[in-house]
Amino acid sequence: MIIDCHGHYTTAPGELQKFRDAQIAGLKDSSLAAPSDKLNISDDQIRASLEGAQLKLQRERGTDLTIFSPRASAMAHHIGNEATSLKWTRICNDLIHRVCTLYPENFVGVCQLPQSPGVAPVNSSAELERCVKELGFIGCNLNPDPSGGHWNSPPLTDRHWYPLYEKMVELDVPAMVHVSSSCNPNFHATGAHYINADTTAFMQFLTSDLFNDFPTLRFIIPHGGGAVPFHWGRYRGLAQDLKRPPLEELLLKNVFLDTCVYHLPGIELLTKVIPIDNILFGSEMVGAVRGIDPRTGHYYDDTKRYIDALPLSAADKKKIFEDNARRVYPRLANKLDAVKAAKR
């Protein structure tokens, strides 16, 4: 089985964005506020939005299941206040739930959190619990920078975040560390802000004792871990200089990287320096880079091709494609069993 741990609903019907536009307009002029919290989107519209995109690409590329979440760049936690974020988040998560209900063999849900700058992360716990317990989601996306590029929240390792981690541990769900759009013109969202955040989160974990406090807490750092694999020697050396334990001991039981790296040499490096047990297959399709590489004739984000081309054992490839995801997302097993039982 091939599990893609990183997919977003980037092709949602236009009504979703219309709701968001109205919500944002309503922040400036309350007479323009969105009239309803209910989205007027039919099941057929949802099917049409996926059939020619994510589902078609799953079939063409030979992947089975996508761990699916709302469009990350649209989370935009910096817009409005906590109530704005909560309303938008619930609407996005409910839509993911409808996708997963229509296509239980193809998608399993991961939620957006209703974060907001300056608001305690524990305030996201109720929505996380709703998504896991009521909607059957298996994880969340956690934005380390709800300000959208100004980085004025405490580091992920600060006690500020601990009450939310307690809820994650209680529910036994991991978080993908995932920023959203950037409102700081210095940082292009997908080209700089995302990759900076991945690298930043890793270094925060390296300098802290977070995983002593939460031995079972798990994070996926997406986009291949940002700059981390390329600079693995720097991080090993920094840990050594800082008198930290070796990285295997310090964080590799808790931190995992995906394979959203869009060329073969990058994936080769990733799998050479990061233990195979810490790598989860991901493509982030349809997402950050949508074109075809003229040098290969294939989509940049068809990351399965790169892994297929590696000289790894079948057992190692199975770890990347399936086993590691099952370990990091323990709730996945129940979902897959339920799908199997429904087919019988």
Instruction: Please tell me the count of residues contacting Zn ion according to CB under 5 A.
Output: 2
Q: Please state the closest distance from residue 287 (CB atom) to Zn ion, in A.
A: 6
Q: Is 72 in the site for Zn ion (CB under 5 A)?
A: yes
* Residue 181 C-beta: closest distance to Zn ion, Å: 12
What the block records as the tokens of 118 is 């300056």
Nearer to Zn ion, 46 or 285 (CB): 285
Report the alpha-carbon distance of residue 104 to residue 78 in Å, rounded: 32
- Quick one: CA dihedral 194, 109, 276, 271, positive or negative? negative
Which DSSP symbol is given to 334? Answer: H
Residues 273-302 touching Zn ion, rule: CB under 5 A, are 284
Site for Zn ion in 185-214 (CB under 5 A): none
Residue 284 annotated to the active site: yes
Helix (H, G, I), strand (E, B) or coil at 161: helix
Q: Which stretch binds Zn ion (CB under 5 A): 43-51, 71-79, 275-283, 297-305?
A: 71-79
Given a contact cutoff of 8 angstroms between Cβ atoms, the answer to whether 212 and 165 are in contact is no
Q: With the C-alpha atoms ordered 226, 232, 235, 238, is the resulting torsion angle positive or negative? A: negative
Min separation Cβ 67 and Zn ion, Å: 11
The one catalytic residue among 51, 82, 268, 284: 284
Q: Please choose, from the candidates 211, 308, 300, the residue with its C-alpha nearest in 3D space to the C-alpha of residue 263.
A: 300
**Shortest distance, CB of residue 71 to Zn ion, whole angstroms?**
9
DSSP letters, 32-81, are GS-S-SS----HHHHHHHHHTTHHHHHHHHT--EEEEEE-GGGT-TTSS-
Binding region for Zn ion (CB under 5 A) out of 69-77, 89-97, 117-125, 199-207: 69-77
Burial class (CB in 10 A: 0-12, 13-18, 19+), 294: exposed
Min dist CB 334 to Zn ion, Å, is 24
Stretch in the footprint of Zn ion (CB under 5 A) among 65-73, 201-209, 274-282, 306-314: 65-73
Stretch of 64-72, 101-109, 132-140, 197-205 lying at the interface with Zn ion (CB under 5 A): 64-72
Report the residue closest to Zn ion, judged by CB. 72
Nearer to Zn ion, 220 or 239 (CB): 220
**12 or 72, CB closer to Zn ion?**
72
Closer CB to Zn ion, residue 178 or residue 244? 178
Residue number with CB closer to Zn ion (128 or 285): 285
* DSSP reduced 3-state for 281: coil
Contact between 293 and 301 (Cβ < 8 Å): no
Active site residues: 284
Which residues sit at the interface with Zn ion, rule CB under 5 A? Answer: 72, 284
